Structure 1
Amino acid sequence: MDSARRDRSIGFLCLVVTAFGWALNWPLMKLLLQQWPPLFARGLAGTLAAAILAALALGRGESMKVPRVAMPRLLFASFTNVFAWMGFGTMAMKYVTVGEGALIAYTMPIWAMLFAWPFLHVRPTLRDVAALALGITGVALLLAADGFAFTAGKLTGIALALACAVLFALGNVLNREAFPMPPLVLVAWQVGLGCLVMLVLGIALERPNYGAITPIGIACFAYMTLVPMGLCYLTWFETLRRLPPTSASTGMLLVPVIGVVSAAFILGEPLGLREVAAMVLTLGGVTLALQRV
């Protein structure tokens, strides 16, 4: 009993570390984007993080070899889980607030629930419909701050954040079978492949000014590389090892909440009754959707 309780305590501690690490990345990423363009910044950080993760895996005696049969699925997962999730999510931050981007991105369990109908033949229940209605209402309430008078840039940001959530959800539904690789090796390959493409596209298309970064930008970049894409993956694996999957997934709802609150302090973004109500509605819908997972 003591061992089980200790495992749960460590699991919850790892969950909190993961949630805070990933959440603080949203406002810090927004700060970094004032100095470096999104694909280049996220691609460079992710490529360096993948090298660190690969070194950790090798240090633990794990092979980095990818079974040939797993290569197509690995490439697909790199696109949905990294290029779409990290790349589109980062680009969205140029056009929307952290609160808007984070809440839209974290509607992914709702889209996964909808994708389960055509791909897994799991029909939506009344609870699933309620989850969808709550999620849409929450996001709509947040986006209605200016009476739905969207600029072209705002629409671009919303579309990118929505694509990030929908594609990540699609990847989760279609890639449910376990990979024949250790988790750390799998993440190193996914992050490395997805972010290397971002880096190449960023250099070619965004033409970054490498010298534009300030000490604050360097600190944000170092955080993005070492914490959310390094430390947090290790604590996330420990969370999954010690806690039930539903508890771990539901606990991740802390990420958009902490992200929105920290953005209010770090960036001065609005945090009033509208934002709180939108979070309650959206995350309430996501919680219902997660009960299916």
Structure 2
Amino acid sequence: MKFIISEIPPLSFRAFCLFFGGLGILGLARASGLSIALPVGYIKKLCWVCLLNIVGWNVMATYGLSLLPAGRSALLGYTMPIWTVLLSVWVLQDKFSLRVGIALLLGIGGIAALMSESLIAWFSGPLNIQLLLGALLMVAAAWSWAAGTVLMKLWQIPLNTVVLTGWLLLLASLPIMVAAAIVDGAPRQLPSKLALWGVVYNVFFAFMFCYWAWVRLVSLVPVSVSSLSSLMTPLIGVISSIYLLGEQPGWPEYSATLLILGAVAVVNFGGKTPNKPPEAAAPNARDAS
């Protein structure tokens, strides 16, 4: 993504991937004989999940990534499990324990470490607005993703996982396509072959497969478990940014990695299983694809 958005405007890139990813998933669902009709009474809830889990995350994370090193962006974006657990205390009535409090402090420490350059510059010299804005966007994107995940768990929208994923992506693409037409305008030149292959990878793997896998996981396990499953991503992001983009992480990235993983470890290990949300009425809500 860091490489692609250097050639393709962020909104255009996201709109393209979401539209064709959602269309592809719904096409596969229909070809498999699944009904793609939206459930009566759940459309408003579906739109809220779409706005937070897909639109908010994709737009803010893409712009945040354009302003920060890729490894640092991944670490900030994947503070999502921390916000997920905190929101689950409020929305799903999970108990706020000492364990959660310690995790929150560790998570805030990790965010502070990644924002340390901007914070130091605030007091010692000219503020690096780009780094600060990028960090704030990534944290806001993580919170948006977490909020959408908790609402998805709470409402248990009665749709097959494949169909639900397709509608979430397709609906999210519509406002982003309008914004891309206004902000980005018409393409000025054809992207390189590598960037185009990156778009293909994002449509088929990052959007069609991985979004389906995420929605499926959220429907099957407690939010803390599904959140924990995403924590390999920032580690891969930091490592791959070194080898693929030539970035050189320093003490902020290394210390934030330990603090953030420590926060998630405290949250997810040794505690009681979170309360289960109400079950969906439709029997096919948990059907496998």
TM-score of the aligned structures, taking structure 1 as reference length: 0.82
| Residue matched to 1:131 | 103
How far has the Cα of 1:138 moved from its partner?
A: 1.6
| Residue matched to 1:6 | none
CA RMSD of aligned residues (A): 2.5
Q: Mean alpha-carbon deviation: is it higher for 202-211 or for 90-99?
A: 202-211
What pairs up with 1:248-287 in 2 under 5 angstroms?
248-287=226-265
What pairs up with 1:29-178 in 2 under 5 angstroms?
29-145=1-117, 148-149=120-121, 150-175=127-152, 176-178=154-156
How far has the Cα of 1:157 moved from its partner?
A: 1.3
Q: In 2 relative to 1, CA 135–208 (structure 1 residues): closer, same or farther, beyond 3 Å?
A: farther
Counterpart of 2:160 (choices 172, 175, 182) is: 182
Moved over 6 A (4+): 237-245
Q: In 2 relative to 1, CA 240–168 (structure 1 residues): closer, same or farther, beyond 3 Å?
A: closer
Q: In 2 relative to 1, CA 148–193 (structure 1 residues): closer, same or farther, beyond 3 Å?
A: farther
Would the aligned equivalents of 1:104 and 1:162 in 2 still touch at CA under 8 Å? yes
* 3-state SS, counterpart of residue 246 of structure 2: coil
Q: In 2 relative to 1, CA 45–210 (structure 1 residues): closer, same or farther, beyond 3 Å?
A: farther
Q: Structure 2 CA distance, aligned partners of 1:189 and 1:210? A: 30
Counterpart of 2:202 (choices 215, 224, 234) is: 224
Q: Mean alpha-carbon deviation: is it higher for 185-194 or for 135-144?
A: 135-144
Q: Structure 1 CA distance, aligned partners of 2:159 and 2:219? A: 16
Larger helix share, 1 or 2? 1
Q: In 2 relative to 1, CA 238–115 (structure 1 residues): closer, same or farther, beyond 3 Å?
A: closer
Q: Structure 2 CA distance, aligned partners of 1:143 and 1:240? A: 30
How far has the Cα of 1:239 moved from its partner?
A: 6.3
Higher relative contact order (CA closer than 8 Å, sequence separation 6+): 1
How far has the Cα of 1:113 moved from its partner?
A: 2.6
Q: Which runs of 5+ in 2 are unaligned?
A: 122-126, 275-289
How far has the Cα of 1:209 moved from its partner?
A: 2.4
Would the aligned equivalents of 2:77 and 2:142 in 1 still touch at CA under 8 Å? yes
Counterpart of 2:193 (choices 206, 215, 218) is: 215
| Residue matched to 2:175 | 197
Q: Structure 2 CA distance, aligned partners of 1:275 and 1:199? A: 34
How far has the Cα of 1:119 moved from its partner?
A: 3.4
| Residue matched to 2:284 | none
Q: Structure 2 CA distance, aligned partners of 1:274 and 1:207? A: 37
What do the CA deviations read for 1:115-161 (whole angstroms, capped 9, x no partner)?
23443444521111110111111222223246632422222212211
Q: In 2 relative to 1, CA 107–142 (structure 1 residues): closer, same or farther, beyond 3 Å?
A: same
TM-score of the aligned structures, taking structure 2 as reference length: 0.83
